[in-house]
Structure 1
Amino acid sequence: MADNQAVRLEQVSRCYAAATSAAVRALDEISVVFERTTFTAIMGPSGSGKSTLLQCAAGLDRPDSGRVVVDDVDLGPLSEKALTELRRDRIGFIFQAFNLLGALSAEQNVGLPLRLAGRRPDSAEVRAALAQVGLGERAGHLPSQMSGGQQQRVAIARALITRPKVLFADEPTGALDSSSSRTVLKLLRTLVDEQGQTTIMVTHDPVAASYADRVVFLVDGRITDEMRQPTAQGVAEHMALLEADTATARVGGGE
């Protein structure tokens, strides 16, 4: 049912020019639906197209062919200005590297998307967003005064301040230790369960993937399988098989 679809990709392909070889086909006619109020992890061997899928789904990159629909809006016909406005109003994005501005406090970093949209941040709203991620008492701290896990939670609050329809996360725990990773993953899970926040996450970590409702597996730009109610062990075993198959295929193909 389309009403329950937060993001839909239809026959999406994306190629990149390569200086030393033929063009690289990062996505190969991918069709997939991400339902509202669910948490999906995207996994696959290195070079499988995970980040490209996330970027196309979030409107950060335009596919060469196919259709991307976010919150019932077809991204294809949108001008760059309209696409920027849609990303600003309906999409939140979390990066592995946090991307906080070092000269700004946590409160100022969280309010930045509102300032960029021409709105004056409401201090109570910003502090509520920080409290939501467990950092209500750190509003005045600079990024350098916080741990990596705390910085990522500030980045999550910043992504949530515009109340996005979809939250995209690209390796959100990739730069964190295991304890900080668990804190961030529990927070993402809570946002889905308690606030209905649709979340789509790229990860290489089976433990991180086990927090999701569903794992979608990519190989060479194509979706090969998916797993519902994943466990860390089940995901790790499936990834080991995919990586072994990929390595065998490359050897067999003379790569």
Structure 2
Amino acid sequence: MRRAAIRGVLVGMSNAVVLSGLRRAYGSGQNAVTALDGVSLAFRAGTFTAVMGPSGSGKSTLLQCAAGLDRPDAGSVVLDGGNPVELTGLPERRLTALRRERIGFVFQSVNLLPALTAEQNVALPLRLAGRRVTRAELREALAEVGLEGRGGHRPGELSGGQRQRVAIARALVTRPDVLFADEPTGALDTESGAMVLRLMRGLADGGQTIIMVTHDPVAASYADRVVFIADGRAAGEDHAPTPERVAAALASLRPKVLA
């Protein structure tokens, strides 16, 4: 994109999340490690973005700061969605409430409670927020991820791909502005992973904003856009990702990190 177009994205009203000058370091003195070094990115509403980079590049830290799970040392994170709010200046209680109301999370480890049914797991975010939930809402949430009739099953009675789809339904039941996903297919076999990725692609086509960290070029090819991170900095983008293009771009970044 041209520089003027990038500025338009950064200040446009159609952004779901805007990151400006994010810096994050861990440790101190000679042991300090810089995870993010002045990253500025914008994520358009209703799009699917994959974030990629070599191991240690800062991509997971980027996701955690963008989702309000970690606080950057400098810079800002603005969640828009028609009601802009800067996450970095919020007190912890308000930030926790905002995460419950406007942000969804899906991780490699699905973190479902084994003693609860699929419906009961999906209901947890609403119950924690003190909101009433109906069986119809829960069935609709599970139907949205292709699990009609599975609401009474416990996690041990579901496949890995089905468990991850329950986790996605749980993340979506609050109708979040943004769905963040950290390696959502990393623990799945190829067929189950493809099913989850097709689901996420369909959600984005329906208007859901998705930001996903992945190490897999095939997973990244389902996205509208791939953002590359290296040495804690933005290192390029691909707006027409294919597995081959993404793999080549990722390979070109590794010497910079290992040098």
Q: TM-score, normalised by structure 2?
A: 0.93
3-state SS in 2 of match to 1:62: coil
Residue 17 of structure 1 corresponds to which residue in structure 2? 27
Q: Which AA in structure 2 matches 1:32?
A: L
**Match of 1:206?**
217
Measure, in 1, the Cα distance between the counterparts of 2:31 and 2:256.
Answer: 23
Match of 1:184 in 2: 196
Q: Quick one: which of 130, 137, 146 aligns to 1:125?
A: 137
Q: Could you list the runs of 5+ residues in structure 2 that have no partner in the other structure?
A: 1-10
Secondary structure, counterpart of 2:13 in structure 1: helix
Q: Distance in 2 between matches of 1:111 and 1:155?
A: 11
2:36 equivalent in structure 1: 27
**Are residues 1:168 and 2:180 paired?**
yes
The residue matched to 1:163 in structure 2 has which SS? coil
Task: Confirm or deny: 8 A CA contact 2:77 2:86 kept in the other structure.
Answer: yes
CA distance in 2 between partners of 1:34 and 1:141 (Å): 36
For residue 54 of structure 1, what is the aligned residue in structure 2?
A: 63
Q: CA RMSD in A?
A: 1.1
CA distance in 2, matches of 1:34, 1:43: 15
Deviation at 1:9, TM superposition (A): 0.6
Give 1:77 deviation, angstroms.
2.1
Matches within 5 A, 1:48-127: 48-71=57-80, 72-127=84-139
Q: Tell me which amino acid in the other structure corresponds to 1:28.
A: D
Using the TM superposition, give the Cα deviation of residue 122 of structure 1 relative to its aligned residue in structure 2, in angstroms.
1.2
Is residue 156 from structure 1 mapped to residue 165 from structure 2 by the alignment? no
- TM normalised by structure 1 equals 0.94
- CA offset digits 1:51-91 (Å, max 9, x no partner): 10000000010100001101221112211111011101100
Contact kept? 2:145, 2:165, Cα under 8 Å: yes
Amino acid at match of 1:99: N
In the superposition, relative to structure 1, how do residues 97 and 18 fare at CA in structure 2: closer, same or farther (>3 Å)?
Answer: farther
Aligned length: 246
Q: Is it true that 1:144 corresponds to 2:153 in the alignment?
A: no
Q: Is 2:231 the partner of 1:225?
A: no
1:245 shift after superposition: 3.7
Q: Percent identity?
A: 63
Q: Quick one: distance in 2 between partners of 1:185 and 1:200?
A: 12
**Runs of 4+ displaced beyond 3 Å:** none
**Whole-Å separation in 2 of the counterparts to 1:142 and 1:238:** 41
